[in-house]
Chain A
Amino acid sequence: MGDIFKTLERQIRAAGIRHGVIASNIANVDTPGYKAKDVKFDETLEKATIELRKTAPGHIGESGRAEGGRVDVESRPSWGDGNNVELDVEVAKMTENAIFFQTAVTLLSTNIRMFKTALRR
């Protein structure tokens, strides 16, 4: 039961980090030479979830693995000034990331509520 908390905590932290990276891209939309970055954390999170399903209790929940994943430079071609930020792409990513975040927070608060209910019995 505690592991779901850990997974969701990782998701929330990862979404926070990704939002920072997207904010940095949007801020630098007009900075010559700036290269857009993105966080690749989906695979790592997926691995963590799969492990949660298949492993026996006690083997799971090592922390510090999926915390943010890798920060990669986007390989999009750049404009004449060496900047490869696409404003619409970044705003779309931001919305997607915010929904991902909302989902994790909602799941986490539901879990907390369930715990509270159980404690009240």
Chain B
Amino acid sequence: MNSFDVLKISGSALEAQRRRMNVIASNLANAESTRTEEGGPYKRQDVVFASESVGSDPLELKGVKVADVVPDGKPPKTIYEPGHPDADKEGFVAMPNINPIEEMANMMMAFRAYEASVATFNTAKSMMLKTLELGRA
């Protein structure tokens, strides 16, 4: 194992979790958006993680990457609001299929995973610096 691979692994996790956080932010921001470019209400987005080999490693240590960002297939929430400009003839509005509580829970999970990878990165760094000090003084 190349000693720097571990930094790459933690770095890939930081990148992936940050991208997940972007998607969650976008979902929360658009929790009330009834109009999109492709028409209809905003659809909730979800990230798909996939593990990814780092370097040429006989141990096959895996980093992680965001393989895809996919729309959630849940149907839009319909609410009765006749005064809304996007209401249909019966007075129903199609709202995004977003549950803010679910998004907040996902955000906490992304944050914890990010935190753990920062800790891993720092541990690896201090281990490396410690070995560099061997034999000094």
Contact = CB atoms under 8 A, between A and B. Distances in A.
B76 to A, nearest CB: 26
B56 interface: no
Name the interface size band of chain B.
35 or more
Interface residues of A, number: 33
Interface in B120-134: 120, 123-124, 126-127, 130-131, 133-134
A30 interface: yes
Interface in B56-98: 59, 61-64
B51 to A, nearest CB: 5
A72 B46 CA distance: 32
B113 interface: yes
Interface in A21-60: 21-24, 26-32, 34
Nearest to B17: A30
A12 B131 contact: yes
B64 A27 contact: yes
A74 B13 CA distance: 21
A28 B134 contact: no
A109 B39 CA distance: 67
A24 B12 CA distance: 10
Interface string B98-137: 0000000000010011001101100110110011011111
B106 to A, nearest CB: 10
A30 to B, nearest CB: 5
**Interface-central residue, A29, A102, A108, by most chain B CB under 10 Å:** A29
18 contacts: A17-B59, A19-B123, A19-B124, A24-B63, A26-B13, A27-B10, A27-B62, A27-B117, A27-B120, A30-B17, A30-B109, A31-B49, A31-B50, A34-B51, A95-B123, A98-B126, A101-B127, A112-B134
Given A17-B1, A31-B50, 7 more contacts: A21-B61, A26-B117, A26-B120, A31-B62, A32-B48, A68-B59, A91-B119
